[in-house]
Amino acid sequence: MKIRKFVDTAVAYVRAGKGGDGSGSFRREAHVPLGGPDGGDGGRGGHVIFEADRSEDSVMRISFAPHLTAGDGAPGAGRKMHGRDGPDLLVRVPCGTTVRNLATGELLADITEHGQRVILAHGGRGGLGNVHFKSSTVRAPTRHTPGEAGESFDVLIELKLVAQVALVGFPNAGKSTLLGAITNARPKTAPYPFTTVNPIVGTILFPDSTGITVVDVPGLIAGSHEGKGLGHDFLRHIERSRFLVFVIDMAGTDGRDPASDFAALREELRLHNPGLESRPFLVAANKMDCPGAAENLARFSGATGVRPAPISAELREGTDALRDLIRNELTARTGRETAG
């Protein structure tokens, strides 16, 4: 079973091929005196191309062989022969990979769909052979140009795992406890806010060996959309999931009101990205083992019109039913089958 950190990174040096040099050849044949220039052009240097491949699941491999170099173009030759283009280098990366220029931070590619290709570094153009430089005054040009260098730079490659389901809730609501109860992940839990600082992905494994990936996103707070707390980064993670599970502390710990918690979470999503609050969701009413939770739940349903799934993540009560509910809702409301 694989439990991965949410972001998997590699640094690499990409170098596209150099263009082949143009040729400065002259035609020489037994019965053709002064045969004239016949030097062909050099071939283009190979590109470095990244391609998304759904069978890849990490960019870590790249860090073991971080020089990504495409082939050089061949030089041109006599008889106007064009040099062969340098072979391209095709680098397969998982869907959800972004590539940045390491020095400037500039985003060079955001590769999401299987089969999508991006030319990351262009090969240099081939040089021109001397056939191009013939004119009425220069009958026997020796001039020919060298191939251009290919592009080369260091890149930062990041894979952002895309989980199917995101757990969304205020700090301390019990998201990590729930992730530990329903998936193979074993995140740290503690009775204080912001225990989780990096998103963690786990997989719900069903007996028929299908799975659903779930990400525990660190606690949202009012103002997250402005960068408060752990801020934007985590809202972006939520954005990538097709289905949301709101984890609400029904015990109303620290004098919280569950219905206003729910409203505040949805508002935070809306402020970050209008439309995000209407992404398909279900609500898990957590901490139902605590005193007052049942009354709070009744009030919650009255106030919001939503019927949550009652659970105690800590005692693992209702969590099996929640797994099944997540599966059914995910399939019914996003039209997505679970992954094998």
Ligand X SMILES: Nc1nc2c(ncn2[C@@H]2O[C@H](COP(=O)(O)OP(=O)(O)OP(=O)(O)O)[C@@H](O)[C@H]2O)c(=O)[nH]1
* C-beta closer to Mg ion: residue 195 or 338: 195
What is the DSSP track for 112-126? -STT-EEEEEPPPPP
Among ligand X, Mg ion, none, what does residue 286 contact (CB within 5–8 Å per kind)? Answer: ligand X
Which one, of 103, 108, 73, lies nearest residue 93 by Cα?
A: 108
| d(C-alpha 171, C-alpha 167), whole Å | 11
Of 97, 145, 176, 241, the one binding Mg ion (CB under 5 A) is: 176
Query: What is the contact mask toward ligand X in residues 186 to 215, using x (rule: CB under 6 A)?
Result: ---xxx-xxxx-------------------
Among Mg ion, ligand X, none, what does residue 177 contact (CB within 5–8 Å per kind)? Answer: ligand X
Query: What is the contact mask toward ligand X in residues 145 to 184, using x (rule: CB under 6 A)?
Result: ------------------------x-xxxxxxx-------
Among ligand X, Mg ion, none, what does residue 20 contact (CB within 5–8 Å per kind)? Answer: none
Of 98, 286, 296, 319, the one binding ligand X (CB under 6 A) is: 286
What is the DSSP track for 123-138? PPPPPPPGGGG--SS-
- Which tokens go with 187? 């995140």
* C-beta closer to ligand X: residue 25 or 176: 176
* C-beta closer to Mg ion: residue 176 or 296: 176
Burial class, 188, CB count within 10 angstroms (exposed 0-12 / middle 13-18 / buried 19+)? exposed
290 binds ligand X, rule: CB under 6 A: yes
172 binds Mg ion, rule: CB under 5 A: no
Q: Enter the DSSP assignment of 280.
A: -
* C-beta closer to Mg ion: residue 21 or 268: 268
Terminal CA-CA length for the chain: 13
Compute the C-alpha angle 96/99/105, nearest 5°.
Answer: 130
134-169: burial string, b at 16+ Cβ within 10 Å, e else: eeeeeeebeebbbbbbbbbbebbbebbbbbbbbbbb
Q: How far is the CB of 248 from ligand X (least distance, A)?
A: 10
| d(C-alpha 313, C-alpha 316), whole Å | 5
- Interface ranges with Mg ion (CB under 5 A): 176, 195-196
- Interface ranges with ligand X (CB under 6 A): 169, 171-177, 189-191, 193-196, 218-219, 286-287, 289-290, 312-314
